Structure 1
Amino acid sequence: MPLTLLYGLAEVLYFLMAYVLRYRQRVVLENLRNSFPEKTAAEHKKLAKQFYRHFAQLIVEILWLREATPAQLARRVSFPNKHIITDKLAQGRSMLALGSHEGNWEWILTSGALQINAPAVGVYQPLNSPFFDDFMYKLRTRTGAELVTMRETIRYMAASQDRQQLLCMLSDQSPSNPKNRYWTQLLNQETGFYTGADRLVGQFQLPVVYVSIRRLRRGYYEAVLTELFDGNTPLDPEQHQITEAFARAMEKDIRASPADYLWSHRRWKHKRPVGE
């Protein structure tokens, strides 16, 4: 189905989620209130409605990946400074790209696999439903991207150090394991982050870029890269310099375009224990 028709379906989904089902409305509004305490209740509700419209469009855009051609994806996703990645890869280096659930992260991986002249490997957490896990796996890999589970990432990188590749991670998920999280401020809240990026950089000395996913208009995005670490000096993973830099870059993006973040996710469900 053409994307223009799918956007018509998105309007129906938006109405259902925002006004009928009120999909995770309590979570969405609570996240917005805690993240933007300076805004009024009316502004929070307006942002919530804008999020639901974005989320509905995101759903149909992901479905469109089943039939999108490489040329169509290339027209809709641009990488204006991708030389930051390609230059490092040309030097024989692998790289780590960190992003968040902002904009359309699924298009960034699938289009990046086409536009970056090297293997693009996405780190993912398998879904609980085998059907949806298989469905998303096929969507994410149909343009050439590869996937590795979060649990297997360190082992995978250790076994493929002679291969120049771009390892891609969404690093804004909420970690439950106290041995694998770092606490810092994000949007006025104590927030736990996975520390996998710090450990990967500490072990393999990977250069790191932050991927800022910006929606230009409906159905068009750009991925702007910012170098967080050049990979030329050792880093102590216990200092969490990479995760801290990622958190600051991510916060800046969310404040710039708050409706495009995934507010239905229970990002702050884990609270910092006393003494941690």
Structure 2
Amino acid sequence: MAQSKQLTRWQRLRLRLMRATVRGLACLPRSFVDKVLVPTLDWLLYHLVKYRRQVVEENIRLALTDCSPAEQKAIARRFYRHLAELMLHEARYAYGSDEQVRQLFRLEQTELLDQLYEAGHRQIFVLLGHIGPWELMGSSALHLDQSRYQLHVIYKQLHDPVADQLTHEMRERHYAHCIEMKQLARDILRHRTQEDSSRMQIYCLLADQTPDYELVRYATPLLGRTTPFITGWSHLATKLAIPLVFYQIRLDTEAKQWVGTFRLLCEHPSSERQYQLIDEYVTLLEENIRLAPHRWLWSHRRWRFDPHDFAGVTYSPRCHDQEQE
């Protein structure tokens, strides 16, 4: 909470109002949220505000070429309903009781973490994409033995200090710790020397973000489009021998629960495989997206940069295979 002291008086007031609003949403009956608020926000986003509609529809049109125009339009329309659900249910994910959050989602293949722990690993990267309620990853500590595992959420600081403070608080509500992306390498090294060696440090990272313009280094095909990816995590993993795990997100419609599944990406990264690891991550990411395309965050401008405009970009061999096709 030390961050709030750096805010101005007006910003602290905004923070209190926003915090009260979010907590109020968390207290509303879920049936009221789903039947009244979600359809209303969905209509506002799609019809009135038209929130990034051009970006969403263009992304889907160019990426999901195996779908007909009618199917693409349906996916775009379903995306806004999903986005409304995410925005309104995020309060429940953060401010619900531990038991309520446990009922919202479950973890599968947690024995993979136990296997890595027993093999002597005390730091791992868990990679995921902007699919479904990705913020629930920060609450995964509720399903883990906290005497054995410490979960960290890696985030990029928001420009609005009030929104950044509130988001930071919400992500730490269920025993996770937040680490700003620029501090990740320093904290990993600090954990190696200062933390209790009996606990495994789990670093959760949304790895499908677009790198900043000056940081574009590697591009590989995603949904048929040459796409730049952040590379910092692969560099750290290979340099510090940190195992990589993919976190798949899906919805169990029968149980009405979100499901997070751990899948091993690589236990022993090596410098020779640094970029290959990104390709393997993208393969799993695309597989996860295609389970339910409307649940990926299509409103991000992931293809705003043309990688061919950068002289120092390394291209995946898959890019050449794609061009030959």
Normalised to the residue count of structure 2, the TM-score between the two structures is: 0.80
Taking the TM superposition and a 5 Å limit, the aligned residue runs for 1:215-226 are 215-217=251-253, 220-226=257-263
How many residues end up aligned between the 2 structures?
A: 273
Instruction: Identify the match of residue 13 of structure 1 among 17, 36, 41.
Output: 41
Q: Say which of 139, 147, 155 aligns to 2:186.
A: 155
Instruction: Say if 2:55 and 2:301, in contact at 8 Å, map to a contact too.
Output: yes
Instruction: Choose the corresponding residue for 1:212, options 245, 248, 252.
Output: 248
CA RMSD of aligned residues (A): 1.8
How many Å separate the matches in 1 of 2:252 and 2:224? 27
Residue of structure 2 equivalent to 1:113: 141
The unaligned stretches of length 5 or more in structure 2 are: 1-27, 314-325
Q: Write the deviation string for residues 250-276 of structure 1: whole angstroms up to 9, x where unpaired.
A: 011112210110011111111113443
CA distance in 1, matches of 2:256, 2:133: 9
- Asked if the contact 2:38–2:85 (Cα under 8 Å) also holds between the matched residues in 1, the reply is yes
**Structure 1: runs of 5 or more not aligned:** none
CA distance in 1, matches of 2:65, 2:100: 40
2:125 corresponding residue in structure 1? 96
CA distance in 1 between partners of 2:297 and 2:264 (Å): 24
Does structure 1 retain, via aligned residues, the 8 Å contact 2:76–2:294? yes
SS in 2 for 1:264: coil
**Alignment equivalent of 2:284, drawn from 243, 249, 255:** 249
Contact map agreement 1:180 1:196 (CA 8 A) in 2? no
Residues 159 and 269 from structure 1, CA distance in 2 versus in 1: closer, same or farther, beyond 3 angstroms? same
Bigger-Rg structure (1/2) = 2
Of residues 61, 76, 97, the one that matches 1:33 is 61
Alignment partner, residue 227 of structure 1 = 264
Given the two structures, how large is their TM-score scaled by the length of structure 1? 0.93
Amino acid at match of 1:97: V
Q: Is the contact between residue 50 and residue 259 of structure 1 (CA under 8 Å) also seen in structure 2?
A: yes
Separation in 2, partners of 1:57, 1:153: 31
Pairing partner for 1:185 from 221, 232, 256: 221
Which one of the candidate residues 158, 162, 172 is aligned to 1:141? 172
